[in-house]
Amino acid sequence: MCGIVGLLLKKPALHGQLGELMVPMLIGMTERGPDSAGLAVFGAPLAEGQRKISVYSGLTAAGADYPWAALLAALNEALPVQATMQLKGNHAVLTVNGPAAPVQAWLKAHDPKLHLLSAGRGIELYKDIGTPAEVAARYGFGQLRGSHLVGHTRMATESAVTPDRAHPFTAGEDFCLVHNGSLSNPNGIRRMLEPRGIRFETDNDTEAACRFLEWRLREGDTLHAALQKGFEALDGFFTFLMGTPTELALIRDPFACKPAVVAETDDYVAIASEFRSLAHLPDIQHATVFEPAPEEMYVWKA
């Protein structure tokens, strides 16, 4: 059992309130996921030739005391990327000129214990072990700004409680996924994708779904087409919530075994596993509130 939350603010004037509105949503899912928590937030995209890379140092010996300044200096000496860095605890968000792949390769070679969380022009990702309230306070979630986000609280059932197995999962650039449920065929998905050069980092079933859907998007599918192929390929019980730079998407398996509720007003679209995580939102009493249907695609534009 896990908790999912999503929030999309329709008006740019509200983007500064994204984190403030989201934190009670995440904490409201504590009973569904006390082991770890995380979120991916999408903001104004960088210029075409720039990328953000979110990095986690909690698996290194130094942890929160990681020598980020030395890493930044070494990176700029090794590659002509003019990297800058923003720090939050044991997370760093690097901004670089040029593609992400050479920087990601350098980071892994420089320190294999660094965990690369996400890359893209708009996405920043934070996740860690701890209760949702602890993780939110640790990384200042209440101060986050942006147009939309995807969040998760985890109660581990099929793999260990570690930061890298926490959600959201990402694949490629500017794509993330959170999951409540369990897949029965993640190993089959893995065996299908690995010969295509797709590398897995954990044994978590959610990673299989994330990499499958990102693979379909990379192959040229629209988000709707990728999700339809997901219904055909992914077996099990699931509610998936996904984020891209321009969209928030929600699907449930054909039996809709895992709960979800949506509230929409002129100002926002909010999604959670239970209504209690939505009850604090402005004007919620006038929102259109509904339970998403099974095997239907819900996509909202940012």
H or E element: which one contains 296? Answer: none
Query: How far apart are the C-alpha atoms of 289 and 253, rounded to whole Å?
Result: 20
pLDDT of residue 225: 93
CA distance 114 to 91: 10
**Mean pLDDT for the stretch of residues 59-70:** 94
Residues 6+ apart with CB under 8 A from 176: 40, 118, 123, 125, 150, 168, 169, 170, 210, 242, 243
Listed in order, the ranges of the chain carrying CATH 3.30.70 are 46-121
Helices then strands, counting H and E runs in the chain, come out as 7, 16
Q: Could you give the 3-state DSSP secondary structure of residue 26?
A: helix
**How large is the average pLDDT for residues 20-44?**
96
pLDDT in the model for residue 67: 97
pLDDT higher than threshold 90 for residue 107: yes
Could you tell me which residues come within 8 angstroms of residue 115 by beta carbon, excluding any fewer than 6 positions away?
55, 56, 57, 58, 59, 163, 164
What are the tens digits of pLDDT across the range 151-196?
A: 999 987 766 778 888 999 999 999 999 999 999 999 999 999 999 9
Rounded to 5, what percent of the chain is helix, strand, coil?
35, 30, 35
Percent of the chain residues past pLDDT 70, beyond the cut = 99
pLDDT digit string (tens) for 199-253?
999 998 999 999 999 999 999 999 899 999 999 999 999 999 999 999 999 999 9
Query: What sign does the dihedral 69-70-73-74 (CA atoms) show?
Result: negative
Q: Considering the entire predicted model, what is its pTM?
A: 0.94
Residue 158 has a pLDDT of: 67
Q: What is the pLDDT of residue 187?
A: 95
The whole-number pLDDT of residue 1 equals 76
The answer to whether 181 and 258 have CB atoms below 8 angstroms apart is yes
What average pLDDT does the segment 74-91 reach?
Answer: 96
Return mean pLDDT, the chain: 95
Fold for domain 3-44+130-301? Glutamine Phosphoribosylpyrophosphate, subunit 1, domain 1 (3.60.20)
pLDDT (0 to 100) of residue 160: 77
The CATH 3.60.20.10 portion of the chain extends over: 3-44+130-301
Q: What's the pLDDT at 161? A: 77
**Section 19-33 average pLDDT:** 97
Q: In the chain, pLDDT over 90 holds for what percent of residues? A: 92
Q: Which residues contact 105 (CB under 8 A, 6 or more apart)?
A: none
Cα–Cα dist 122/120, whole Å? 6
Residue 64 confidence (pLDDT) above 70? yes
User: Which residue is catalytic, options 2, 176, 210, 257?
Assistant: 2
Q: Which CATH number fits domain 46-121: 3.30.70, 2.40.160, 3.30.43, 3.40.1350?
A: 3.30.70
- Is 176 an annotated catalytic residue? no
Q: Helix (H, G, I), strand (E, B), or coil: what is residue 293?
A: coil
Is the pLDDT at 256 greater than 70? The verdict is yes
